[in-house]
């Protein structure tokens, strides 16, 4: 499967779907949308610091949405020959409902901006043998550089595919994509001392870029695993926490972004309801969406509904600028059209959310965070829970360490408790440096104050 054959496949499928949409209209089914997602992937998986298996999979999924008189039915299928039957089945689901809403309609077509292609043809020269070589290198790195680290699992993947959306209202969008990626998960073991689990990953559109990123990611993984050995319990305290980019997003800003979802806003399940134009966070914090960046994995010209995406502000100096809307939520909010934030794919109805957020770097040097003249708890990862409506979160600190007078002490069996909305105003400093999470979201390091840390009091 190469770029040329994928382009032919898109062209063939466009003709096929166009015929089905015409047939639907001639049968009185006026609102049909088909989202097609095709993927071809080759994987080598690792387990127990050894090769596990080698796989090749290919699948085309179709998400079919039929709206009739304000009611909607949705079918996902991977069976191309029976797509017409699935359209009829989706209509039947729509017809069985008794709660129509006039705002539930398919969007009209809008012009899409050009985006840099995320399919680098050089990836077509790669195959399973390259993945085996990459896997072998990773196993050698482990053996030579990190002999105490055990790889629980790992995966090296070449993925190629396309997404295509068409509807009876005339919406059309198609994009190809391909990347090479790898991930690793494991822990360090030194006799009875088993360190906390950790992971890292890398993705790129070409082999050369991938190899650079993967080496760094693997070393980062190895260093984090080794750094978790010799962990000690700590007493409870209240004070500062230092979050690296992954922890910033996965447990803090990610929840905040969830609160900006147009559906939660409409249903009154978000504390951010009615807050656009007001200050909801520290003025140090600015966030924007940017789906235009070349070599970023979330770059795309259209959203789940085929509506245009664009660079746009979300939060500027702590002031909330927008919510995330798909077409339905935009109409419920009194807007004419969505702002390009419909999420999902062939296996889900359009949701609302961001796809490539960029968080503004701050003015601090991250190394200075490690030299503060007071206790700071570095939280590598949080294994925990958060509650969307209240914003409360709590969890066990994983791979963390206490920074005390320049000393880094690995810790274990400690928990952190907080609230996302309070935390937005507890930001003391943001670093200049950051990381690209999933080669998509730019996120810096953040220092926050006023957190409750629960540990085992004797500190042994």
Partner 1 sequence: MRDLLKECIEEESGLVELRYHHKENRSFFAEKGRIESSALRKRSGVGVRVLHNGTWGFASTSEITKASIQNAMRVAKHAAEISSSLRSEKIPSLPKANFAIGNFIGEGISDFKNKTVEEKLELVLSIQEKAQKTSSLLQSVGCGYSEIYEEKAIVTSDGADSFFSMVRPEFRVNAVANQNGKLESGNESIGVTGGWDCLFRDKNPSQISEDACKTAIDLLSSELPQGGLATVILSPSIVGLLVHEAIGHTVEADFVLAGSVANGKIGTRVGSDLVSLCDSGVSEYLPGAGGTIPVDDEGVIPEKTMIIENGILKSYLHNRETAERFQTKPTGSARAWEYSDVPLIRMRNTFLLPGNSSLEEMIAGTKDGYFLDGPKNGQADATGEFMFAVQKAYRIQNGKITSLLKGVTVSGLAFDVLQSVDMVSKEFKWDLGSGHCGKGQPAKVDAGGPYVRAKVLLGGN
Query: Under rule CB under 8 A, which residues in 436-455 are in contact with partner 1?
Result: 452, 454
What kind and span of H or E run contains 23? helix 3-26
Contact between 389 and partner 1 (CB under 8 A)? yes
Nearer to partner 1, 254 or 395 (CB): 395
CA distances to 13, 39, 347, 362, 365 from 163, in Å? 11, 9, 12, 36, 41
Ranges within 34-73 binding partner 1 (CB under 8 A): 42, 44-45, 47-61, 71-73
**Which DSSP string corresponds to 104-133?**
--PPPP--------B--GGGGG--HHHHHH
Q: Output the smallest distance, CB 458 to partner 1, in A.
A: 10
Contact between 5 and partner 1 (CB under 8 A)? no
Asked whether 228 and 187 are in contact (CB, 8 A), the reply is yes
Q: Which of 1, 16, 105, 132 binds partner 1 (CB under 8 A)?
A: 132
Q: Which of 337, 392, 433, 449 binds partner 1 (CB under 8 A)?
A: 392
Which of 277, 280, 258, 278 is closest to 269 using CA atoms? Answer: 258
Contact between 353 and partner 1 (CB under 8 A)? no
Between CA 439 and CA 434 the distance in angstroms is: 12
Between CA 306 and CA 63 the distance in angstroms is: 13
Between CA 452 and CA 198 the distance in angstroms is: 24
Q: Which of 94, 182, 315, 443 binds partner 1 (CB under 8 A)?
A: 94
Helix (H, G, I), strand (E, B) or coil at 165: strand
Ranges within 214-253 binding partner 1 (CB under 8 A): 236
Nearer to partner 1, 78 or 278 (CB): 78
Nearer to partner 1, 99 or 125 (CB): 99
Asked whether 199 and 184 are in contact (CB, 8 A), the reply is yes
Contact between 159 and partner 1 (CB under 8 A)? no
Contact between 321 and partner 1 (CB under 8 A)? no
Nearer to partner 1, 294 or 417 (CB): 417
Asked whether 283 and 316 are in contact (CB, 8 A), the reply is no
Nearer to partner 1, 137 or 206 (CB): 137
Contact between 197 and partner 1 (CB under 8 A)? yes
Q: Which of 74, 141, 256, 378 binds partner 1 (CB under 8 A)?
A: 74
Q: Output the smallest distance, CB 136 to partner 1, in A.
A: 5
Nearer to partner 1, 62 or 441 (CB): 62
What kind and span of H or E run contains 212? helix 207-227
Give the list of residues 6+ apart from residue 378 with CB closer than 8 angstroms, or none: 241, 242, 244, 400, 401, 402, 403, 408
Site string for partner 1, 272-311 (x = CB under 8 A): ----------------------------------------
Q: Output the smallest distance, CB 135 to partner 1, in A.
A: 6
User: What's the token pair of residue 13?
Assistant: 């499928």
Size of the site for partner 1 (CB under 8 A): 83
Q: Output the smallest distance, CB 361 to partner 1, in A.
A: 31
Helix residue spans in 399-446 (DSSP H): 420-423
Nearer to partner 1, 61 or 436 (CB): 61
Contact between 347 and partner 1 (CB under 8 A)? yes
Contact between 83 and partner 1 (CB under 8 A)? no
Between CA 377 and CA 375 the distance in angstroms is: 7
Q: Output the smallest distance, CB 404 to partner 1, in A.
A: 20
Which stretch, 94-102, 117-125, 207-215, 371-379, contacts partner 1 (CB under 8 A)?
Answer: 94-102
Q: Which 8-state DSSP code applies to residue 369? A: G
């Amino acid at each position: 499967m190469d770029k040329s054959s994928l382009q032919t496949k898109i062209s063939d499928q466009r003709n096929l779907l166009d015929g089905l949409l015409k047939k639907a209209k001639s049968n009185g089914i006026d609102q049909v949308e088909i989202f097609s997602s095709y993927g071809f992937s080759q994987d080598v998986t690792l387990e127990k610091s050894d090769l596990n298996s080698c796989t090749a999979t290919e699948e085309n999924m179709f998400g079919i949405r039929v709206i009739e008189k304000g009611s909607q039915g949705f079918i996902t299928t991977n069976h191309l020959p029976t797509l017409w039957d699935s359209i009829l089945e989706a209509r039947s689901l729509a017809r069985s409902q008794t709660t129509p809403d006039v705002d539930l309609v398919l969007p009209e077509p809008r012009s899409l901006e050009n985006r840099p292609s995320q399919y680098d043809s050089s990836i077509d020269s790669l195959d399973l043998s390259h993945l085996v070589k990459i896997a072998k290198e990773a196993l050698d790195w482990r053996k030579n550089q990190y002999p105490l680290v055990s790889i629980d699992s790992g995966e090296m993947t070449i993925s190629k595919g396309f997404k295509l959306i068409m509807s009876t209202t005339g919406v059309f969008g198609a994009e190809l994509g391909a990347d090479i990626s790898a991930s690793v998960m494991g822990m360090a073991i030194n006799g009875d001392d088993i360190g906390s689990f950790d992971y890292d990953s890398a993705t790129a559109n070409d082999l050369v870029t991938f190899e650079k990123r993967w080496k760094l990611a693997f070393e980062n993984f190895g260093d984090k695993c080794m750094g978790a050995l010799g962990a000690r319990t700590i007493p409870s305290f209240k004070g500062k926490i230092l979050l690296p980019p992954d922890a910033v997003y996965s447990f803090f800003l990610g929840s905040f972004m969830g609160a900006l979802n147009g559906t939660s806003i409409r249903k009154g399940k978000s504390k951010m309801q009615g807050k656009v134009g007001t200050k909801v966070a520290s003025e140090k914090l600015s966030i924007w969406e940017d789906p235009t960046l070349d070599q970023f994995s979330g770059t795309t010209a259209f959203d789940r509904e085929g509506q245009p995406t664009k660079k746009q502000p979300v939060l500027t100096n702590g002031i909330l600028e927008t919510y995330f809307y798909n077409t339905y939520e935009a109409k419920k909010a009194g807007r004419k059209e969505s702002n390009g934030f419909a999420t999902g794919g062939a296996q889900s109805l359009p949701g609302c959310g961001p796809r490539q957020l960029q968080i503004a770097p701050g003015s601090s040097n991250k190394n200075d965070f490690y030299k503060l003249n007071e206790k700071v708890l570095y939280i590598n990862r949080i294994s925990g829970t958060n509650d969307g409506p209240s914003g409360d979160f709590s969890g066990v600190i994983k791979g963390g360490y206490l920074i005390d007078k320049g000393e880094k002490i690995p810790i274990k069996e400690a928990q952190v408790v907080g609230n996302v909305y309070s935390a937005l105003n507890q930001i003391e400093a943001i670093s200049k440096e950051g990381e690209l999470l999933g080669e998509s979201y730019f996120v810096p390091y953040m220092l926050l104050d006023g957190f409750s840390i629960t540990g085992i009091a004797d500190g042994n």
